[in-house]
Amino acid sequence: DLELKQKVFRELDAAAPAKAVLASNTSAIPITKMALATKRPQNVVGLHFFNPPMLMPLVEIIRADPTSEETLRAAVDFVKALGKTAVVVRKDVPGFITTRVLGPYFEEALRIHEEEGVAREAIDAAMRFRAGFPMGPFELADQVGIDVLYHLIRNAGRPVPASIQQLVDTKKVGRKAGEGFYSYREGRPKLTPEMGADFEPIRILAPMINEAAELLGMGVAPAEDIDLAMRLGTAFPKGPLATADGLGLDAVLAALKGRSRDTVSKVLEEKVSRGELGVKSGRGFYEHAAPKEVAGYETLLVSKDPSTGVATLTLNRPDRLNTFSPEVFDEIDRALPALARDADVRCLVITGAGDRAFSAGADLMAFGDVSKSHRAWEVSRRSEEVFQRVAGFPKLTVAALNGYAFGGGMELALACDFRVAAKRAKLGLTELGLGLVPGAGGTQRIVRAVGLTKAKELVFLAQRLTADEAAALGLVTKVCENDAFPDEVKAFAERVAKGAPVAQRLAKALLNRAADMPLDAGLEMEAMAFGLVTSTEDIYEGIQAFMEKREPKFKGE
């Protein structure tokens, strides 16, 4: 209520000492209009705390048009003295940063639901499980309070959607009332990842990114502060502008085209016209260092991106379907220790060059005369040794299955911690179809992956599985559309790389040995690992981040 705020500020102005700073905690009401109701407008500032204020670390400091630099500095110092993170909003724009950028999260979701009939559950599940938000827009609206959302939309000068108006009129204003978009008689809505499989999060992300780019263009705050405010205040993963760089600014712009509801940000259009597309071009809203390629390999490509902690080892024999030769095994054996020692590497992706094959197995011609049994035994043992080093690699590994993964290719994939597959991928232990048996650990790892009965079927019948069939058996962690595969692998690996390195290493060792040892020995090892990890700094960072409702920044210390 602006009039009430102005009345309070006039009374404070009359009663407070001349040097006193007057501040308002509001998420939408213009600070400038409150300031002009006083005789000291230069001493008025906005301090927008976030609920619950004892846990939420962010405070938006809003500079009204007449606010002086001295008042602004005093507000920043005050917020820092409280132990909070201050983000200065340099211009008193409707919604400031967080409320303005978060607006489309609700409004676009409502529009899509009302005009296109997309289920609320589909939108919420996609934004939660695919985009990484703690809650989807409808569940979050219920949590915030639909009456609160109603006033925010009105104060921003936007039309109130019909479904919001109806819920407010019927007093179904969210969780506090027991019902809103969802009923809470049985607790939180039960959503599953499958519910959001057919809805693309970029449809909601793009308008949010557009608002953030508009704020950048108006000089409200720099990109780093906009993203910081959204991460700390709304749990927006990475922040909208960093997210845009990952998605590709051209993809964001394409998602906005044809929308008569919003004006596309000139900042966004100009960046795309200059070829500043984000991570893939090296520059977007941020500068991005290109992954560094490690020289010295003939059959592999080894690169790392220190900014994300992800390294990639690519089998580089596309003309031979990335089959294994003695040189490939030697170079993998040489690459792994260097990557294990590299503190910049937290996750290793293994893939194949081209889009036809991850690896079609062993190139038997490259191993020379294997007609003698002892030579074939040596080849098998060498491959088992190398793949065992992959399995025991101290950091988590992701097999990016871009095509065929047959024979030894499947065995290498089984040695990795995760398997992410493109739709076109085909997988199988196909050796018995050639009169051979798996010779690089396949008979042992497939049993541990799917159980003895299914393993016998896959091996004896030399079955070739589609990516979806493999996922149904638990052999594949995630299946991606072919066009989205590189971006999905990158996002998955970056998510893995953000984990706590020491805890990951200990948990990996425990899981890898779980099938090999008696239960009592395994439990003893687990207790020892639990004791070890409590001595790390990462455990305190994890707890602190949980309390502050932010993403932890683990250092591996």
Dist. CA 377–CA 380, nearest whole Å: 5
Question: Is this model's pTM higher than 0.75 or not?
Answer: no
Q: Which one is predicted more confidently, 219 or 299?
A: 219
Residue pair 334/389 in contact (Cβ under 8 Å)? The answer is no
Among candidate residues 121, 139, 214, 411, the one labeled active-site is: 411
- 224 catalytic? Reply is no
Dist. CA 265–CA 296, nearest whole Å: 45
401: pLDDT confidence band, cut at 50, 70 and 90? very high
Share of the chain above pLDDT 70, in %: 96
Least confident interval from 233-237, 326-330, 362-366, 501-505: 362-366
Among candidate residues 60, 431, 488, 494, the one labeled active-site is: 431
Torsion over CA: 237, 243, 247, 252 (sign): positive
202: pLDDT confidence band, cut at 50, 70 and 90? very high
Per-residue model confidence (pLDDT) at position 234: 87
56: pLDDT confidence band, cut at 50, 70 and 90? confident
Report, as an integer, the average pLDDT of 374-379. 78
Per-residue model confidence (pLDDT) at position 41: 94
Q: Using the structure block, give the residue that is written with the tokens 């030579």.
A: 375
Q: What are phi and psi of 289, to 5 degrees?
A: -75, 135
Q: Using the structure block, give the residue that is written with the tokens 């937290």.
A: 346
* Tens digit of each residue's pLDDT (9 = 90 or more) over 422-477: 999 999 998 898 888 898 889 999 998 989 999 999 999 999 999 999 999 999 99
Domains and CATH numbers, the chain: 2-89 (3.40.50.720), 97-199 (1.10.1040.50), 200-288 (1.10.1040.10), 294-497 (3.90.226.10), 501-548 (1.10.12.10)
* Tens digit of each residue's pLDDT (9 = 90 or more) over 233-273: 888 888 999 999 999 999 999 999 866 566 899 999 999 99
Least confident interval from 3-12, 370-379, 486-495: 370-379
The mean pLDDT value of the chain amounts to: 90
Torsion over CA: 464, 468, 474, 480 (sign): positive
Class of residue 554 by CB neighbours under 10 A (exposed 0-12, middle 13-18, buried 19+): buried
371: pLDDT confidence band, cut at 50, 70 and 90? low
Residue 369 has pLDDT above 60, yes or no: no
Assigned token pair, 158:
């936007």
Per-residue model confidence (pLDDT) at position 370: 56
Can you list the alpha helix ranges (DSSP code H) found in 415-557?
442-450, 452-460, 467-472, 485-497, 501-513, 519-533, 537-548
365: pLDDT confidence band, cut at 50, 70 and 90? low
Per-residue model confidence (pLDDT) at position 238: 84
Dist. CA 127–CA 146, nearest whole Å: 19
205: pLDDT confidence band, cut at 50, 70 and 90? very high
- 211 catalytic? Reply is no
Residue 481 has pLDDT above 80, yes or no: yes
